[in-house]
Amino acid sequence: MIVLEGLTKRYGTTAVVDAVSITVERDSITAIVGTSGSGKSTLLRMINRLVEPSAGRVWIDGRDTADEPPHLLRRRIGYVIQGNGLFPHRTVAQNVATVPRLLGWSDARIAARTVELLEALQLDPARYAHQYPHALSGGQQQRVGVARALAAEPKVLLMDEPFGALDPILRAKAQEDLLAVRRRFGTTIVLVTHDIDEAFRLGDRIAVMRHGRILQCDRPAALLTRPADPFVAELAGRGDRALRLLSLTTAGDAAEAVPADGADREPVVRIRADATLREALSDLVWRGATRGVVVDPDGTVRGALRVDAILAHGRSC
Amino acid sequence: MATRRRIDRLGGVFTLVGGVALAGAPFVVFKPNRIVPGVPLGVLIALHGATAVAVLGAVVLAGVVAVFVANPPLRLVASLGGFVAVALGAAAAGNAFTPAGDLIVRIAPGAGCWIALIALGLLAADALTRLRPGPWTRLLLLAAFFAVALAALAHGTFDHLSVMREYRSNAGRFAFEARRHVELAFGSLAAALAAGLPLGVLCHRVPRLRAAVLGSLNFVQTIPSIALFGILMAPLGALAAAVPLAARVGIAGIGAAPALVALFAYSLLPIVANTVAGLARVSPAAVEAARGMGLTRGEVLARVEWPLALPVILTGVRIVLVQNIGLVTVAALIGAGGLGTFVFQGIGETAIDLVLLGALPTVALAIASSVVLDALIEVAGGAQR
Amino acid sequence: MRRALALWPLLALGLLAAFLVAPQRFAPVFAPFAAYGAPPIYDQGNLFALALAHVAIVCVAAAASTVVAVGLGILVTREGWTEWLSPSRTIVNFGQTFPPVAVLALAVPLVGFGEEPTLIALFAYGLLPIFENTIAGLAACPPALRDAADGMGMSPAQRLWSVELPLALPMILEGVRLSVVIDVGTATLGSTVAAKGLGEVIIAGLSANNAAFVLQGGIATGLIAILLYEGLRAVERRVCRTIRID
């Protein structure tokens, strides 16, 4: 758990980050979103003390980070930046081993961890471990950057626009990978982005930042249904907020028990349980159906889904 | 950043170096004649009464300002004041220790005096850097500095110091050799520009020529200067012997001709290489656009390529000029003249004052040239933005 | 093409070695340049020993220049020391503006005749290229890499040693190479103040008006410069193979 308390950074008389207090739950993803110059990167960099706060405190798992030498603190915290920051003169394996070496791990432990991470990020160790970064594609470099950040088994991972340099298709893939990695390693992640879609996609909670202040830090759905501020409403998307809301719930969660009657009057539309309600609605509209059947990947029917039930989800949650 | 630093570390180090030198090393050296080693005199023995108070006061003030004051104009004034005070202090010691009418006794500035002057000079240069003067201001300051220094020399302020004594006994030759030095350095530069600029343009246009020309010019640079001077003695001597006309216009195996040819050869590489590099800076798109607007090749060169390449070419000129001013001193070995004559004569006679008579003006000339060219480079580059 | 490139430094090395070991074999080559009745090959000392002394002086001076210039270059690029950049640059530039002959002459009363004045002159003269290249190499380190190194918990010294210096190494080595080549030629001047080296041969030729001596001294020095240049470039290429910043 990360607790930020009254965190402030002043340069001269202007406060770039102004008395920010938020709590990040263990094993959750908090996305800090804001326009450029909102102070979101500075806020992130105060967590691992790359920027020293002017005032306020940061606790990680109950320990005040100010009590520890900054470089030792940073070795316990994973850090991923835009454009990956891989060392061009070191191989993929050497890059991944950076922090474990600083911590003095044994060679065998480092080698095992490197293999485990590269495999988890779908990079064949036999093929890539001894390559230099310039021989890799942008997407592969980004994955090595994530592997490097996770190498020393940090409980906290800080990510500063980690997918900013990737094209939209690679970015979607990288986002999926991140969710998979989080499920596997169970890490508390704080992620800075200017992309509200990315925030909705990844964040368990989203903190909207402007002029150095947190306007709202809440569950994604709450940002849409109860925006604390016109700016938040604007950023979250006034025009398509209903559709955004639908994309936060899966068909499996919204499925109702199959009603006994009338199931055979319409053609049956099968909806995957892990599809979002937005995707389910789109599919039903396209096929001209008013309801579908939600099925699990193994083919068992979980329930039914009616268009009017989906629409109801788009008004609240 | 949170706490304002009170003490200037840089100023502290220079003040410490200058102070220790003044306190520990001889301020002047008293020599009964020009050859013998002489007696070192500390600053408190060399200076008396009001002079001592004035000089030391100015130096202490410069040190205090350097350590505790951040204001650049104040730092500049204080360090220049200290510089002038130390120079005048040495002159005063020269006057005080020279018996009236005596022409044999030598008073030479000692290590303490030189180091203090260098430390104060560096402090002044640092203050000037912090002021960020424009190129024209820098040229003006340089001119003012030289005007003051020359006026002081002409007035006879330093006449009782050993280097000026040496100058007195070589005054006629000094003017001649100094002129020769400048002629050789600038003459070879002019010749290199006349040949190197067209060659550079040609190399830019014909890529196949580029590697060959730059390769051979690079090779010339690896030949040691004295060897190149020497190697050229033979063919030029033969030319003079075979063609009387050549001998009549001054071509000879020893003297200025081989020096000029060798300096020309050394100067070509920076000029040609920088012309090529400067022209390569011009984007093909800009040239294409100019051609598209109907400019001829010559007009493109004059109006598009040349202005963009000029700062880079001037950087080459700066390299050549500073290098040539130094190399001309070596040319004295083959009888080409120049200020190096005094340096080598001084080495031969172990007369350090004579060495300084050759070396100090050479250094001043090199520094002045680099300051002037740096300013010109900035002017040429600034015109683009 | 590649093979030819690799071959010619070897040829130069062979030629130089042959000349230094058995100079008399080359007498017919230099005879036409010798003054009437004078020996065609330098006979007042062992050429091989002179060449060794020459290279030794250059190596010692270049090593000293490298240590000081790299150290200074690192210092002035550290946080909190940047105000030293401009004065350091002035001092180092001064070292190259000051003609080496003058440095030699002024060093003699301080340290006497022999190798020492030459070492001082070469040291001062060779600082500039190494210093400038060190600074340029360190400045070329992308900010993202410095940020990544800090973010992973490297101390400033660890960051310098394992990220910044390895990345700056090709540039630094290039500076050392330039410095060494300048030093080889400039070291010949040392013979005017009685340092051992190939300059001795050239000076002897100049004073006896014997072009054969001047030529052989000059050619041997030139070959040494070229060989050191190529040798150092080979080292650089090996180092650079793994370092590439895209």
Contact C163, C145 (CB under 8 A): yes
Out of C83, C96, C187, whose CB is closest to B10? C83
For chain A, what is the mean pLDDT?
88
pLDDT at A264: 55
Interface of C with A (CB under 8 A): 142, 144-145, 147-155, 158, 163, 166-167, 242-246
A13-61 pLDDT, tens digit each: 888 999 999 999 988 999 999 888 899 999 999 999 999 999 999 999 9
Out of C91, C98, C202, whose CB is closest to B227? C202
The pTM assigned to this predicted structure is: 0.83
Ordered strands of the B106-109 beta sheet: B39-41, B28-31, B106-109
pLDDT exceeds 70 at position C2: no
Q: How many CB atoms lie within 10 A of CB A166?
A: 20
Please identify every stretch of chain B with a pLDDT value under 50, giving residue numbers as ranges: 1-3, 385
B155-192 pLDDT, tens digit each: 888 888 888 988 988 889 999 999 999 999 999 999 99
- Residue B204's SS3 state is helix
Paired with A9 in beta bridges are A17
Q: How many CB atoms lie within 10 A of CB B271?
A: 24
Could C153 and A89 be called an inter-chain contact, meaning their C-beta atoms sit closer than 8 Å? no
Of the candidates B24, B48, B226, B13, the one whose C-alpha atom is nearest the C-alpha of residue B123 is B13
Of the candidates A280, A205, A196, the one whose C-alpha atom is nearest the C-alpha of residue A239 is A196
* Residues of C in Cβ contact (< 8 Å) with A88: 145, 167, 243-246
- Residue for token digits 């190697």? B231
Out of B230, B333, B356, whose CB is closest to C211? B230
Question: Chain C within 8 Å of A104 (Cβ-Cβ)?
Answer: no
Which of A50, A80, A89 to probe the C interface (max C CBs under 10 A)? A89
Amino acid at site B94: G
How far apart CA A310 and CA A247 sit, in angstroms, is: 11
Residues B77-80: contacts with CB under 8 Å, at least 24 apart: B79/B120, B79/B121, B79/B123, B79/B124, B79/B127, B80/B120, B80/B124
Q: Is A211 left (phi over 0), alpha (psi -120 to 50) or beta?
A: left
Which of B10, B226, B254, B352 to probe the C interface (max C CBs under 10 A)? B226
User: How many residue pairs bridge chain B and chain C with CB atoms within 8 Å of each other?
Assistant: 143
Q: Tell me the CB-side half-sphere exposure of residue C239, using CA atoms within 13 A.
A: 16
* Residues of C in Cβ contact (< 8 Å) with A77: 153
Which residues neighbour A200 within 8 Å (Cβ) at sequence distance 6 or greater? Answer: A206, A220, A244, A247, A248
Residue C245 pLDDT grade (very low, low, confident, very high; cuts 50, 70, 90): very low
A213-265 pLDDT, tens digit each: 999 999 988 888 888 888 888 888 777 778 888 888 888 788 887 664 555 55
- Residue A274 or residue B20, greater confidence: B20
Residue C5: phi, psi to the nearest 5? -65, -40
A78-96 pLDDT, tens digit each: 999 887 789 988 999 999 9
How far apart CA C228 and CA C238 sit, in angstroms, is: 15
B-contacting residues in C 42-71 (Cβ below 8 Å): none
Question: Chain B within 8 Å of C26 (Cβ-Cβ)?
Answer: no
Assigned superfamily of B171-384: MetI-like (1.10.3720.10)
Burial of A220 (0-12, 13-18, 19+ CB in 10 A): buried
How far apart CA C156 and CA C162 sit, in angstroms, is: 10
Residue A267: phi, psi to the nearest 5? -65, 145
Residue A303 pLDDT grade (very low, low, confident, very high; cuts 50, 70, 90): confident
Of the candidates A21, A166, A5, the one whose C-alpha atom is nearest the C-alpha of residue A80 is A166
How far apart CA C97 and CA A32 sit, in angstroms, is: 55
Residue A29: phi, psi to the nearest 5? -110, 120
- The shares of helix, strand and coil residues in chain A, as percent rounded to the nearest 5, are 40, 25, 35
Residue A291: phi, psi to the nearest 5? -160, 160
Query: What is the average pLDDT across C38-53?
Result: 88
Q: Which CATH number fits domain C45-242: 3.30.420.40, 1.10.565.10, 1.10.3720.10, 4.10.780.10?
A: 1.10.3720.10
Which of B222, B328, B334, B342 to probe the C interface (max C CBs under 10 A)? B222
- Residue B108's SS3 state is strand
Distance from the Cα of A72 to chain C's closest Cα (Å) equals: 6
pLDDT at B1: 40
Hey, what are B8's tokens?
A: 């200037």
